[in-house]
């Protein structure tokens, strides 16, 4: 069987994204129609009608799974629950707000399989003075945090803060007990705990502008990222 047609679990952590879900499901299904896949929505206890929208989607797409987290909202923990529930060995992580354009999915999957990679990262181009879909504050904050990350881990990717990536599930299972497992950036956590000669490449993407719903980036999220960096600094010293 051609490697392009491996099976993929698409993990999508969501919080109050009901207005985006039907289009997201349609777009993913359109681009992945020639491969085996499942979509796993991890709901961080949404207060909108997310659950009813997904039940409607499931009537037409049997590949869609839905899990509800009732604890405190946390993107990393939502992703980890998705990893645990994933049926397949290859995992895609993407946001549920349509800023990660599903058109990149099949391109990234082909790149991942053709190059026999361990990680392929949908990287934003931070060499530019601005990035479509990011406010100036988020752009500057991201650049600062990325450069701090490079100090601890090295430059495995140009965008360790990306929320759009593909990787082999074994790299979660191998080091799951070492993960910080809290906060906003599970990719950074995975890259930190998985050392050695990994095959990692970037795939440059452009973000879409958010059209519906509200961004989850706030000072609490930023604080958790800073805690994550501090935690890794202490681990580096021990």
For residue 169, the Cα-to-chain-centroid distance in whole angstroms is 13
Helix (H, G, I), strand (E, B) or coil at 110: helix
| Coil, helix or strand at residue 190 | helix
Residues in the chain: 238
The larger pLDDT score, comparing residue 233 to residue 33, is at 33
Least confident range from 4-13, 16-25, 133-142: namely 133-142
| Mean pLDDT, residues 11-28 | 97
Question: Distance between CA 211 and CA 206 in Å, rounded?
Answer: 15
| pLDDT tens-digit map of 77-92 | 999 999 999 999 999 9
Domain 3-237 sits in CATH at 3.90.550.10
Instruction: Decide which of 138 and 233 is more confident.
Output: 138
Instruction: Name every residue whose Cβ is closer than 8 Å to that of residue 66 and which is 6 or more positions away in sequence.
Output: 40, 41, 43, 51, 54, 55, 58
Q: What is the mean pLDDT of residues 39-53?
A: 97
Domain boundaries, the chain: 3-237
More confident residue, 25 or 147: 25
Mean pLDDT in the chain? 86
Is the pLDDT at 144 greater than 90? The verdict is: no
- Are the CB atoms for 20 and 212 separated by under 8 Å? yes
**Kind plus residue range of the DSSP H or E element containing 182:** none
Bridge-based pairing of strands 200-204 and 8-14 is unpaired
Task: Indicate the pLDDT class of residue 35, thresholds 50, 70 and 90.
Answer: very high
In tens, the pLDDT along 100-117 reads 999 999 999 999 999 999
Helix (H, G, I), strand (E, B) or coil at 213: coil
């Amino acid at each position: 069987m051609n490697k392009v047609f491996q099976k993929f679990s698409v993990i999508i952590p969501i919080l109050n994204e009901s207005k985006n879900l039907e289009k997201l499901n349609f777009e993913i299904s359109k681009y992945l129609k020639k491969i085996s896949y499942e979509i796993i929505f991890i709901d961080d206890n949404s207060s909108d009608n997310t659950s009813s929208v997904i039940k409607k989607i499931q009537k037409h797409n049997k590949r869609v799974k839905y899990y509800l987290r009732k604890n405190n909202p946390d993107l990393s923990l939502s992703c980890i629950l998705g990893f645990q529930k994933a049926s397949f060995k290859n995992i895609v992580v993407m946001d549920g707000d349509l800023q990660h354009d599903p058109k990149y999915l099949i391109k990234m999957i082909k790149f991942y399989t053709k190059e026999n990679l361990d990680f392929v990262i949908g990287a934003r181009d931070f060499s530019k003075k601005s990035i479509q879909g990011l406010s100036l504050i988020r752009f500057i904050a991201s650049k600062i945090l990325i450069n701090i990350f490079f100090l601890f881990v090295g430059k495995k990717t140009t965008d360790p803060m990306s929320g759009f990536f593909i990787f082999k599930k074994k790299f979660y299972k191998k080091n799951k007990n070492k993960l910080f497992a809290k906060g906003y950036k599970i990719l950074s956590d995975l890259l930190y705990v998985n050392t050695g000669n990994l095959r990692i490449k970037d795939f440059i993407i452009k973000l879409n502008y958010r059209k519906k719903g509200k961004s989850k980036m706030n000072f609490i999220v930023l604080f958790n990222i800073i805690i994550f960096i501090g935690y890794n600094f202490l681990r580096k010293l021990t």
